[in-house]
Amino acid sequence: VPGVVSRQGSAFVLYFMDHPPRDWHDLLEHHDFNKDCVMRQALIERGIYVFPVATKQCSISTAHTEDDIALTLENLEEVLKAIWPATSR
């Protein structure tokens, strides 16, 4: 899956592109907004709340346990595999 995580403190965004965005023009040209929205909706359907709008940040706080983070990563892996099937990689 082409992607890069950009973060500041506990806030982060997963961009579906092969480099960190330099600016909004770069993001508009290279980020896969459709897959971003599909990923977010699929995570919400699995009980993992993320903002349902492409490129909105996610956050980790002290309220999240290691189990919460592990569950999120497991669900994210499943969703990404569904969005990018092995045959299209």
Q: Return the beta strands (E) in the chain as ranges.
A: 4-8, 11-15, 58-59
**Alpha helices (H) along 31-65:** 33-45
| The model's pTM | 0.87
Q: What is the pLDDT of residue 65?
A: 96
Q: What is the pLDDT along the chain (89 residues), one digit of tens a residue?
A: 889 999 999 999 999 999 999 999 999 999 999 999 999 999 999 999 999 999 999 999 999 999 999 999 999 999 999 998 765 54
Q: What is the predicted pLDDT for the residue at 20?
A: 92
